[in-house]
Amino acid sequence: MKYIDEYRDGRLAMDIARQIVATADLVRSYHFMEFCGGHTHAISRYGLEDLLPPNVRMIHGPGCPVCVLPIGRIDAAIALAMRPEVTLCTYGDLMRVPGSDGSNLLKAKAAGADIRMVYSTLDALRIAEAEPNREVVFFAIGFETTTPPTALALKAAIAKGLGNFSIFCNHVLTPAAIQNILESPDVRKLGTIKIDGFIGPAHVSTVIGTEPYEFFAEEFQKPVVVAGFEPLDVIQAILMLVRQVNDGRHEVENQYIRAVTVFGNEKAQAEVANFFELRESFEWRGLGEVPYGALRLRPQYATYDAEKRFSMVTPAAKDNPACECGAILRGARNPADCKLFGTVCTPDTPMGSCMVSSEGACAAHWTYGRLREKARQAAAARAVA
């Protein structure tokens, strides 16, 4: 595959890995958070951590839209889907996200709810056009990358005069979440979580640019490298972060110059701004309430806003108390630290959100990396003996 294989070249990877080993200061450790689940997936799938020296560690962040969706929003979506007039269109990733009491959309579908898996917002629009007697609701989730398509779907629905189409908006924002992590007590005040820098998601930055990160790179003095999702992109970003830390710099650097600019895609931003506004606060699974961390439809589009159209309520719902997803999403714990991990909570029987999507920290660790943990434990046991 031209333009893809070049970014998966094992020889180049070894070369960069050697540079990281040569550059990383042996007397200190480096902890970098890859914010986005796409990076977590790439790191796990290509076994990238095997190429890093022991003093360079990756922390898997909360950038998985499925993982950060709170239980209450899933419960609300299930309640909506159970209404006889409603057809709920959703991305496949959401089907198995656990709601309260072991419920999920897959089970709701089996119980008779009209839930359809779609691959894009356009599929949902097509269904709304083809079935004018159904109330078609698109379950919109995702970061800045998936928000413009939702905005365009809304624009198209309005242009076509589709009166039976609406959106259950759960779009969330990357910079707000990173800021929330940096401001959380265990990171900022207690210093229990060490984060020396961030890898920023390139796809988000193709839309928003690199500029939104400037503030907290400066305010929190943490370097940010916006990187692509191919394994060479990620390992190069790690080298760039190591260099920044060594130099005492905290800049926003752009590794993904093939598509990301400082100001991003201003047309897409304008379309989003036309239809969406900031929520004062929105619950993120794992992070809690994040101020200005999500979007909702502007009031003039209330008829297209499923929350208003169907007077939806988001019930208060709590995760299993033993679930460590919250701490894992903030980087305070590793997946293997959680009592549920690999016992009752596996990708087949997810208890927490991090286990659901292949981009979730726990699922990625279980699917690709649990052996590494076992090897580490075995080594530790041998050391003790």
Partner 1 sequence: MNKMGVKAYTWKLDIANGRVDLSHGAGGRAMGQLIEDIFHKALDNDWLRAGNDQSTFAVPSGRMVMTTDGYVVSPLFFPGGNIGTLAVHGTINDIAMAGAVPLYLSACFIIEEGFPLADLECIAQSMGDASRETGVPIITGDTKVVERGKADGVFISTAGVGRVPDGLDLRADAAQPGDAVIISGSIGDHGVAVMSKRENLEFDTAIISDSAALHRLVAAMVAVGGKHIRVMRDPTRGGIAATLNEIANQSKIGFHIDEEAIPLKPEVAAACEFLGLDPLNVANEGKLVAVVAPDGADVVLAAMQAHPLGAEAMLIGHAVADENCFVQMATSFGGGRIVDWLSGEQLPRIC
Where on the chain is the footprint of partner 1 (CB under 8 A)?
A: 1, 4, 8, 10, 13-14, 17, 38, 41, 44-51, 65-66, 91-93, 95-96, 106, 117-119, 123, 126, 141-143, 145-146, 203, 231, 346-348, 357-359, 363, 366-371, 374
Contact between 167 and 304 (Cβ < 8 Å): yes
In whole angstroms, the minimum distance from the beta carbon of 248 to partner 1 comes to 30
In whole angstroms, the minimum distance from the beta carbon of 165 to partner 1 comes to 16
Choose between 184 and 367: whose C-beta lies nearer to partner 1: 367
The residue behind tokens 């991090």 is 354
In whole angstroms, the minimum distance from the beta carbon of 84 to partner 1 comes to 18
Choose between 298 and 370: whose C-beta lies nearer to partner 1: 370
In whole angstroms, the minimum distance from the beta carbon of 372 to partner 1 comes to 8
Choose between 79 and 207: whose C-beta lies nearer to partner 1: 207
Choose between 180 and 358: whose C-beta lies nearer to partner 1: 358
In whole angstroms, the minimum distance from the beta carbon of 104 to partner 1 comes to 10
Give the C-alpha separation, 334 to 306, whole Å.
37
Burial class (CB within 10 angstroms; exposed 0-12, middle 13-18, buried 19+) of 383: exposed
Choose between 108 and 182: whose C-beta lies nearer to partner 1: 108
In whole angstroms, the minimum distance from the beta carbon of 256 to partner 1 comes to 15
Choose between 243 and 370: whose C-beta lies nearer to partner 1: 370
In whole angstroms, the minimum distance from the beta carbon of 200 to partner 1 comes to 14
Choose between 125 and 193: whose C-beta lies nearer to partner 1: 125
- How many C-beta atoms lie closer than 10 Å to residue 9's C-beta? 13
Give the C-alpha separation, 29 to 288, whole Å.
29
In whole angstroms, the minimum distance from the beta carbon of 24 to partner 1 comes to 18
In whole angstroms, the minimum distance from the beta carbon of 379 to partner 1 comes to 16
Choose between 37 and 223: whose C-beta lies nearer to partner 1: 37
Choose between 178 and 187: whose C-beta lies nearer to partner 1: 178
* Cα dist from 232 to 58, 152, 258, 305, whole Å: 15, 33, 14, 41
Choose between 313 and 378: whose C-beta lies nearer to partner 1: 378
In whole angstroms, the minimum distance from the beta carbon of 78 to partner 1 comes to 17
Contact between 353 and 325 (Cβ < 8 Å): yes
Any idea of the CA torsion for 322, 327, 329, 330, to the nearest 10 degrees? 170
Tokens representing residue 362 in the block = 């726990």
